[in-house]
Chain A
Amino acid sequence: MTGERNLLEAARAFGFETRQLHAGQRPDPNTGARAVPIFQTTSYVFEDPESAGAYFNLQEYGNTYSRIMNPTVAVFEERMANLEGGAGAVAFASGIAAQAAALFTLLEPGDHVVSSSALYGGTINQLKHLLRKMSVELTWVDPDDPDAWRKAARANTKAFFAETIGNPAGNVLDIETVASLAHDHELPLIVDNTFATPYLCRPIEWGADIVIHSATKFIGGHGTSIGGVVVDAGTFDWSNGRFPVIANPSPAYHGLQFHETFGTYGYLMKLRAETLRDLGGTLAPLNAFLFLQGLETLSLRMERHVDNARAVAAFLESHELASHVTYPGLPGSGYRLLVEKYLPRGAGAVFSFDCAGGRDGGQDLIRSVTLWSHLANVGDAKSLIIHPASTTHRQLNDAELEAAGVGSGTIRLSVGTESVDDLIWDLEQALAHVR
């Protein structure tokens, strides 16, 4: 019983720090558990045959099978949607799975995608090779050049794709301009917001239609779990004639018209009920729980990540063996105006620099660090270091490496939340070993 309590909820615009703790979750109605319960179950008992039918028909919001939905995962999805300012979200087993699903939901053979060339190497592989296997064409553009986006759009183009802060070269996307160009062509802009997190930038507020995350990074924040999420703003008009795959009756769901029937929620329903159903790639409940634990401290960690990144970038910029420090938060960065507009709380904590001595110099540095961890991830509370040309971006040819801003001696850093003096001390002693 709720007793005398007023059942009506006031409409208040709660702050980010409140929402990162509360959005998506209410105390469990069955047990009162305050933490989010981990619903480690594959399936759910139906009340009766009619309820089961209503759930499968999408006439009622109901749990059927954990490949498609799970109460723990749903808390994570709603919290991400809330923090990004979207209509909803669907979580996946990895950021790459989220990205594939976001694209598969709106693409058909013969379609075309325009993408920034300054991306994570794994994303470049996915766009270049997986899309070709689907008979989808791709055009790479310099994300900093609005004309390049404009000229690349064709009659069969279905989306523009970019990262808020490019990995690893630190390009800052002019989201409002590129979103406006996409909308001029009646196309959605899909933005990977992994490096900024919704605390530093919310692309939907600048016109982006779909936001993707690798939750593995700052959202989880502790390097424990792989996962991803797609957030939809819910505002794109899929009935504009360019997207029959979403607007027309779906042969994969007994003729359901996702856009007409679900309106704001049409893309998300199709993403879940068809794409997640058919591709799998489901986020595990335990990983969703760990991401929720991460989100509870997102703003606190990001403030520290940003402070430390600024200090480490300034140190490297002044060091004679380091050059091309790409941290967009440096006062001299070419992206300064875009950072002021889109990332006023800080330009993230991942960037690269070129170590003297090229490939050998870079490898000397990595061999000599003792506190920074040499591994292929970013966004951990612990500081991370890697040589992209021999790891994350290894499958790329020289031209692609150059377009992605990766040189033979480029080192990528993900600045953690340790004592910043210790991080600088370790880099300084390691640079002394560079031949």
Chain B
Amino acid sequence: MRSLVRARSLVLGLVLGPVLGCDRPPEVVKPGAPSTLSPSHGVVLEDTTPKQDVRLLPAEAYMRSYLQLFGGLAPVDVQARARGADGAQLFDTWDDYLSALGFPDYRNDLPRGTQTNAIMVATFERLGVALCDRALEHDWKAKPAPPPLKERVVFAFDEPAAPADAKAFAPRFDVLHRTFLGYPAELAPPDRVKNFFELYQGVAKRHAAPGVKSRFSPDEAGWAAVCYGLVRHPEFQFY
């Protein structure tokens, strides 16, 4: 309703404005009397150091990291694994993602993408979700038994008794944090563990609600969401 009122006002203004103002004399700004400028409050040296910014992970490095997180497989094998046979449609084909990831196309003279854009970020998201879901299935839900801890690339910890409390969450989160962002969570901004714990709790809670259908248990969904958050984190995509 409010937007409707605003739109009406805009239309009225557009229609009546020129009509009401057409006979108004033009505004004239006369020069004022000379005056001294207010005194300086001290001199600040100009900062001439290079204004460096974060670098986007080269597309090749992104892909190699992705392959490594998938267990060091070849691209076609990762594609087969990520696509799966369960109809989840988590992954299309690498060919569909190359230009979005910023790979150059020498044949068609398309340069490398060195800055993110909406399509690239969406692709990071899609690939990240595929990675986390398949990794969770592999690390925790494989039949007849999940692989031993040392063979897990992503969820390299035992699944805590659901739901995890903050104490159980933190060391496990640290494993994921190191995996994706390359440093201990304790060195991250202060609220990071807390924020991700809230994310975990929120997702787990929503998945526990009656009627929610999911391939994952509430706890698994919570951990998968934490993984999504890290694999899509700017600190993963930049360096």
Do A and B form a real pair?
no
By a beta-carbon cutoff of 8 Å, the part of chain B in contact with chain A is none
A residues whose Cβ falls under 8 Å from a Cβ of B: none
